[in-house]
Amino acid sequence: MAEDASGGKGDVGGKPADVADLSFEEALAELRQIVERLEKGEGRLDEAIDAYDRGARLKAHCERKLKEAESKIEKIRLGEDGVGVEPLDVDEPGR
């Protein structure tokens, strides 16, 4: 995949990759690039709006990926019947 002008991964035509096709790491890296560009005020207003929109989709994608990973994590518990596993009980800050 080639990089598009916005710094994100894109297909051969330079179009950004579908957010759903990105790994957590790819989405996070692209989100960081977008935030950096927006903070610097680079580009035109319409480009900034498009970047903000893609950034919001990348953020939501990263949050979904983290929830999926969290649901797969298990903790080991020691009970009367020996060692078992149960879903990880994670307190969510801010909720």
Range of the domain at 6: 2-87
So what's the pLDDT on residue 59?
A: 97
54 with 34: CB under 8 angstroms?
Answer: yes
**Residue 9 falls inside a structural domain:** yes
Q: Total structural domains in the chain?
A: 1
Specify the DSSP element, H or E, that contains 79. strand 74-79
So what's the pLDDT on residue 7?
A: 45
**Residue 94 falls inside a structural domain:** no
**Residue 83 falls inside a structural domain:** yes
So what's the pLDDT on residue 71?
A: 77
**Residue 55 falls inside a structural domain:** yes
pLDDT at residue 72 is higher than 90: no
Q: Which two tokens stand for residue 82?
A: 């020996």
pLDDT at residue 86 is higher than 80: no
Q: Which two tokens stand for residue 17?
A: 């990759």
**Residue 16 falls inside a structural domain:** yes
**Residue 92 falls inside a structural domain:** no
Beta bridge partners of 84: 77
38 with 55: CB under 8 angstroms?
Answer: yes
pLDDT class of 42 with cuts at 50, 70, 90: confident
**Residue 93 falls inside a structural domain:** no
The whole-number average pLDDT for the span 53-65 is: 97
